[in-house]
C-alpha cells in the first residue's frame, strides 16, 4: 500500500463485525485517511442489487479505491494495506507465518468464534440456529487452545513484532465472551489481548446496541 500513497480509500463495513473492525484497526494504526460507509450486514444491506454489483459474495468488509478497484475478504485487505509497512514482515519465512495465521483465523477460528457470537447476539432465543452452539463452542475452544499454546512461548503471532496476524486474530478473540466462551483457561491469550489493546493507535470495537447486548448477556 505505501507504494500507492495517494489512493483514497473507502471501506464498506459494519462496525460491530470483527471482520470489519480488523480493517478499521489497521487503518487507524497506519494513520491512513479513509472513508467508512456503514453497511449493516445483519439487516441485509449487503444483499441489495447495488451492493452485490460490487461484491457478488454479499459480505462486508469491502475496500473500494478511487480508481474503482475493489478488494474483499478482510485478511486480503489487511495484507494489501500492510504491504511495505512494519505490520507485514519483509522476510519470506515470517511473511509465510503471517499467512499461516490468517488462514487459521479464517478456517479454524472465525467460523466458530464469530459465528457463535452472531448466533447468540443477532438471532432470537428460539432461533433454530441455536442448535449450532455446542459445536461452535467445541471448535472455538480448539482454536483458542492452539493460540494459547503459541502465546505461551511468543509475544506476537509473527516473529518479534505485532502485525496483521495479531490484528486478524484479535478482532473476534477480544469479544469471544459474546459467543459464550469462558476465557479463564487462557491466561496467555488474555495477556496478549492486553498487549494488543496497548499498541499505538489502538481502537476498540463499539459496544453492541442494547437489544443485542441483552441477548449476549443471557446465559443461552
Ligand X SMILES: N[C@@H](CCC(=O)N[C@@H](CS)C(=O)NCC(=O)O)C(=O)O
The footprint of ligand X (CB under 6 A) covers 14, 17, 19, 41, 46-47, 58-61, 73-75, 106
Instruction: Decide: 189 and 169 in contact? Cβ < 8 Å.
Output: no
Give whichever of 17 and 29 is closer to ligand X, judged by the CB atom. Answer: 17
- Please report where in the chains the cell 442489487 appears, as a residue: 49
Give whichever of 90 and 103 is closer to ligand X, judged by the CB atom. Answer: 103
Dist CA 42 CA 20 (whole Å): 13
Q: Which of 192, 97, 103, 93 is nearest to 148 (CA)?
A: 192
Give whichever of 72 and 144 is closer to ligand X, judged by the CB atom. Answer: 72
**Closest approach of Cβ 187 to ligand X, in Å?**
28
**Closest approach of Cβ 23 to ligand X, in Å?**
9
Buried residues in 30-39 as b, exposed as e (16+ CB within 10 A): bebebebeeb
**Closest approach of Cβ 59 to ligand X, in Å?**
3
Phi and psi at 65, nearest 5°, equal -100, 160
Give whichever of 75 and 166 is closer to ligand X, judged by the CB atom. Answer: 75
Beta carbons within 10 angstroms of residue 22's beta carbon:
25
Give whichever of 92 and 100 is closer to ligand X, judged by the CB atom. Answer: 100
Contacts of 8 (CB under 8 A, 6+ apart): 33, 34, 35, 65, 66
Instruction: Decide: 113 and 173 in contact? Cβ < 8 Å.
Output: yes
Give whichever of 20 and 196 is closer to ligand X, judged by the CB atom. Answer: 20
In the chain, the largest separation of any two C-alpha atoms, in whole Å, equals: 51
**Closest approach of Cβ 198 to ligand X, in Å?**
25
**Closest approach of Cβ 184 to ligand X, in Å?**
26
Amino acid at each position: 500500500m505505501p507504494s500507492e500513497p495517494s489512493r483514497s480509500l473507502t471501506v464498506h463495513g459494519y462496525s460491530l463485525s470483527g471482520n470489519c473492525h480488523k480493517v478499521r484497526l489497521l487503518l487507524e494504526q497506519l494513520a491512513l485517511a479513509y472513508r467508512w460507509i456503514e453497511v449493516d450486514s445483519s439487516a441485509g444491506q449487503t444483499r441489495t442489487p447495488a451492493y452485490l454489483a460490487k461484491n457478488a459474495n454479499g459480505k462486508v468488509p469491502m475496500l473500494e479505491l478511487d480508481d474503482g478497484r475493489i478488494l474483499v475478504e478482510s485478511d486480503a485487505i489487511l495484507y494489501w494495506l500492510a504491504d511495505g509497512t512494519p505490520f507485514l514482515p519483509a522476510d519470506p519465512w515470517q511473511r509465510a507465518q503471517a499467512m499461516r495465521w490468517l488462514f487459521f483465523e479464517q478456517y479454524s477460528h472465525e467460523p466458530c468464534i464469530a459465528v457463535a457470537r452472531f448466533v447468540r447476539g443477532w438471532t432470537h432465543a428460539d432461533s433454530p440456529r441455536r442448535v449450532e452452539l455446542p459445536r461452535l463452542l467445541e471448535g472455538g475452544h480448539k482454536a483458542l487452545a492452539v493460540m494459547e499454546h503459541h502465546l505461551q512461548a511468543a509475544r506476537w503471532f509473527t516473529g518479534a513484532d505485532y502485525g496483521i496476524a495479531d490484528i486478524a486474530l484479535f478482532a473476534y478473540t477480544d469479544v469471544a465472551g459474546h459467543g459464550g466462551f469462558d476465557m479463564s483457561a487462557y491466561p496467555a491469550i488474555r495477556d496478549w489481548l492486553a498487549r494488543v489493546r496497548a499498541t499505538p493507535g489502538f481502537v476498540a470495537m463499539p459496544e453492541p446496541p442494547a437489544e443485542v447486548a441483552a441477548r449476549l448477556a443471557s446465559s443461552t
